[in-house]
């Protein structure tokens, strides 16, 4: 169990008042994600106006604002809706997770603007290091991708591109292939032919094209037909 000395503050400002509790940083984040119980996250059951000053929140004030005297319910609302102070370790962990997600998103969705081929993830990572790009641990990875791309362009030729692809799959592989089409791309058209074969049109991030074709050819033993009909 986390000691009071190792605990961090979870703070909620509500109706002009501030309420604070002491929590285990990692467990509080896990509780928000539904991965542990509130008891695992709480270090004490006390509700404070100011933890550092040792000033406890008046019960009449909590009842007025939270409409309950149940400290567990109040603590749950503070952890779920409030701001949790992050330890340096947890902050670094979050930043690294966002960094990996951004690299994966760029790898799967972008291509080399000169060759039309996907950039290896390692090349993207090295370019991010070279550009000294700051990753915000609090913003979603998807929200940071465009900004990261702009900063990468002076270092590597890169762009996002979606390919519209037409695919024809022989009857014996059609049903199994449908899952791969849906997994990698956005289905725009699918027509089942009289002979049981499948003709489909999908939108696919260009960076995923090589992986997609390898997966489809592996399943169909190279008998599928793939054609790029538009790049956008």
pTM for the whole structure: 0.66
The dihedral built from the CA positions of residue 146, 150, 151 and 156, taken in this order, carries a sign that is: positive
Q: Is residue 194 part of a domain?
A: yes
Average pLDDT over residues 41-61: 94
Euclidean distance between CA atoms 80 and 177, whole angstroms: 42
How many domains are there within the chain? 3
Residue 1 has pLDDT above 70, yes or no: no
State pLDDT tens for residues 184-224: 999 999 999 999 999 999 999 888 888 899 999 999 999 99
Domain coverage including residue 217: 162-231
Q: Is residue 1 part of a domain?
A: no
- Contacts of 26 by beta carbon, 8 Å cutoff, 6+ apart: 90
Phi-psi region of 102 (alpha: psi -120 to 50; beta: other; left: phi over 0): alpha
Euclidean distance between CA atoms 118 and 208, whole angstroms: 7
């Amino acid at each position: 169990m986390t000691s009071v000395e190792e605990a961090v503050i979870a703070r909620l400002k509500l109706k002009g008042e501030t309420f604070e509790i002491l929590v285990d940083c990692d467990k509080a984040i896990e509780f928000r994600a539904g991965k542990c119980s509130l008891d695992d996250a709480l270090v004490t059951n006390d509700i404070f106006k100011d933890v550092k000053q040792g000033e406890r929140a008046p019960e009449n004030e909590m009842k007025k604002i939270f409409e309950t005297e149940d400290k567990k319910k109040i603590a749950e609302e503070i952890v779920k809706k409030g701001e949790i102070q992050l330890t340096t370790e947890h902050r670094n962990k979050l930043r690294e997770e966002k960094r990996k997600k951004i690299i994966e998103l760029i790898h799967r969705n972008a291509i080399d603007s000169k060759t039309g081929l996907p950039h290896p993830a390692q090349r993207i990572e090295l370019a991010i290091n070279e550009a000294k790009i700051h990753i915000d641990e609090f913003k979603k990875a998807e929200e940071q991708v465009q900004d990261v791309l702009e900063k990468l362009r002076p270092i590597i030729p890169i762009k996002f591109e979606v390919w519209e692809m037409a695919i024809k799959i022989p009857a014996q592989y059609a049903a199994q292939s449908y899952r791969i089409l849906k997994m990698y791309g956005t289905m725009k058209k699918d027509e089942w032919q009289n002979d049981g074969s499948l003709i489909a049109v999908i939108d696919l991030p260009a960076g995923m094209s090589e992986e997609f074709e390898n997966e489809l050819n592996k399943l169909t033993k190279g008998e599928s037909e793939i054609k790029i009909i538009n790049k956008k």
